[in-house]
């Protein structure tokens, strides 16, 4: 005979049953909320090691919600017929003509109106892992005709920027993940122009109306602290200047960061300035509330004044300075990194530089004294010489970003320092050096041509005895022992991540010409 439960026992069973149903309902709702949250933030998530894609969001990328560094590339859209700055240097500045480029891109002397170029650049940026582009509008206030007329060069720059936004919007619809876009306006680059702040406010309002407020463009911006990021270049301004100018700035819809240059002299990073570039290869770091917010990495650097021909200038030097520049980012892990730069490809004509001797040259000068990253043709002549760097700096950037983001934490990136162009060595004793980031090698082996001249080197330099070498061209190869990489840095082709471990080597060519 089965015992029947009492009324009180039945009530207890019902209560427990209801509690179980409630618990199950809460669990289901909680799981659904997490799934929805994961879906809504899917674009913000940083994939795990080995599957890194640029950190994108369906509704704009919000930097504040991401613990990782966002890596940006400084980018120009001024390769158009009419861009001309009449009072730049002694003869003006005409970047759209390609006349004074230091090298010729793999893609040729392209136009910023060419959608195929925009798409190819974007494909490369996705491959590198670039999160955002800094679009250069810093010269708008001193271009001719005046920006307010929306004619000529300023109109063309508006059109090429709009084409970039339009193309990136289409690429997102096609399932691509293009970098987010940040515009850099300009208030001052030298003397302050009349009504500059008032005119700047006009440009800010125009940019909001024509880019930010367009539904198809709204999600293309980089959001920071709840608003799209806007940078403003003001070279020569002090912290006190910016405090006064901020009072008259009308930009309520933006998170604004002022941008300076040569911060090793001005030290305006103390009041929050970011930098376009500095005159030292180890660029300054801007901190915000004690946390590293921004820095720049660059393959070369020059002080202003006087520019590239200053003895303190650091040239490309086969990529060794580029690694040194990246070390600052590795050490500080800032929220934002800017890579200086993708595609300036313009400078001032010979004999028309700034200063009393007309020898102050900025922007790009020649192969050695330049800082563009975009791949160039290695067999073409440009304004001040022939040759190019091929894919070398893009390949270095790919390896460095992969290492920085722990996608390949086991690799070593190494660059052997090279003599400046044209690579002629006259001394019988030549001190070579190198730079390394990543897994430290056990030691190094050094070869001249195919002959080993030193083994088990424990330091980052060695003095070669060239006295017994024949005159002419030779090759120096450095081998990092006990280290490997997954990226072939050879300049002839774009690197691809290898599943196999590759040796870490660096090779330079030079011409030995004693007594010349």
CA 437 – CA 26 distance, rounded (Å): 50
- Would you list the DSSP string of 477-510? EEEEEEEEES----TTS-----SS-EEEEEEEEE
Q: What is the mean pLDDT of each run of 10 residues along the chain (516 residues)?
A: 37 41 38 35 30 48 85 96 52 72 97 97 98 96 92 93 98 97 93 90 98 94 97 93 90 97 96 97 97 98 93 96 98 98 94 91 96 98 96 98 98 92 88 97 97 98 96 97 98 98 97 88
CA 395 – CA 1 distance, rounded (Å): 84
CA 182 to chain centre: 13
Q: pTM here? A: 0.87
Which pLDDT score, from 0 to 100, does residue 93 have? 54
- Would you list the DSSP string of 270-339? GGT-EES--SSSS--EEEETTEEEEEEE-S-B--TTT-TTSTT-B--GGGHHHHHHHHHHHHH--SEEEE
Which pLDDT score, from 0 to 100, does residue 225 have? 95
Class of residue 449 by CB neighbours under 10 A (exposed 0-12, middle 13-18, buried 19+): exposed
* CATH placement of domain 412-512: 2.60.40
Domain boundaries, the chain: 53-404, 412-512
3-state helix, strand, coil in the chain (%, to 5): 30, 25, 45
Out of 3.30.70.20, 3.30.70.260, 3.40.190.10, 3.20.20.80, select the CATH number for domain 53-404.
Answer: 3.20.20.80
- Would you list the DSSP string of 390-450? TTHHHHHHHHHHHHHTTSSTT-EEEEE--PSTT-EE--SEEEEEEEEEESPPSEEEEEETT
CA 183 – CA 220 distance, rounded (Å): 11
Which pLDDT score, from 0 to 100, does residue 67 have? 82
Kindly state the helix (H) or strand (E) to which residue 462 belongs, with its residue range: strand 461-465
DSSP conformation class of 93: B
């Amino acid at each position: 005979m089965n015992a029947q439960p009492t009324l009180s026992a039945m009530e207890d069973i019902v209560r427990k049953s209801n509690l179980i149903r409630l618990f199950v309902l809460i669990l289901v709702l909680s799981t659904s909320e997490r799934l929805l949250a994961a879906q809504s933030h899917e674009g913000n998530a940083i994939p795990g090691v080995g599957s890194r894609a640029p950190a994108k969001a369906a509704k704009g990328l919000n930097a504040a919600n991401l613990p990782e560094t966002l890596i940006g590339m400084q980018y120009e859209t001024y390769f158009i017929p009419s861009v001309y700055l009449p009072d730049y240097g002694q003869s003006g500045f005409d970047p759209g003509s390609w006349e004074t480029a230091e090298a010729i891109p793999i893609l040729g002397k392209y136009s910023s109106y060419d959608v195929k170029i925009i798409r190819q650049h974007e494909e490369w940026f996705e491959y590198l892992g670039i999160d955002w582009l800094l679009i250069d509008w810093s010269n708008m206030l001193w271009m001719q005709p005046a920006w307010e007329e929306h004619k000529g060069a300023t109109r063309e720059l508006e059109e090429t920027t709009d084409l970039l936004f339009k193309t990136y919007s289409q690429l997102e619809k096609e399932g691509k993940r293009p970098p987010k876009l940040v515009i850099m306006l300009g208030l001052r680059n030298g003397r302050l122009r009349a009504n500059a702040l008032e005119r700047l406010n006009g440009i800010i309002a125009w940019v909001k109306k024509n880019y930010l407020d367009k539904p198809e463009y709204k999600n293309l911006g980089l959001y920071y602290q709840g608003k799209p990021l806007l940078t403003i270049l003001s070279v020569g301004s002090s912290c006190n200047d910016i405090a006064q100018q901020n009072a008259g700035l009308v930009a309520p819809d933006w998170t604004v960061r002022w941008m300076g240059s040569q911060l090793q002299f001005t030290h305006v990073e103390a009041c929050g300035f970011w930098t376009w570039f500095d005159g030292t290869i180890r660029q300054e770091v801007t901190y915000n509330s004690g946390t590293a917010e921004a820095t720049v990495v660059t393959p070369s650097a020059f002080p202003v004044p006087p520019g590239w021909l200053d003895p303190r200038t650091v040239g490309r030097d086969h990529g060794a300075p580029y690694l040194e520049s990246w070390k600052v980012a590795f050490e500080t892990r800032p929220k934002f990194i800017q890579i200086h730069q993708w595609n300036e490809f313009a400078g001032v004509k010979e004999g028309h530089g700034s200063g009393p001797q007309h020898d102050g040259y900025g922007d790009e000068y020649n192969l050695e004294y330049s800082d563009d990253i975009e791949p160039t043709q290695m067999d073409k002549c440009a304004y001040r010489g022939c040759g190019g760097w091929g894919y070398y700096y893009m390949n270095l950037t790919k390896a460095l970003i992969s290492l920085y983001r722990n996608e390949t934490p086991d690799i070593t990136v190494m660059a052997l320092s090279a003599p400046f162009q044209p690579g002629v060595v006259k001394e019988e004793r030549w001190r070579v050096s190198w730079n390394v980031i990543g897994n430290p090698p056990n030691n190094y082996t050094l070869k001249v041509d195919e002959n080993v001249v030193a083994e088990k080197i424990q330091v980052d330099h060695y003095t070669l005895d060239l006295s017994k070498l024949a005159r002419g061209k030779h090759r120096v190869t450095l081998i990092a022992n006990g280290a490997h990489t997954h990226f072939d840095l050879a300049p002839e082709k774009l690197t691809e991540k290898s599943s196999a471990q590759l040796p870490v080597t660096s090779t330079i060519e030079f011409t030995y010409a004693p007594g010349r």
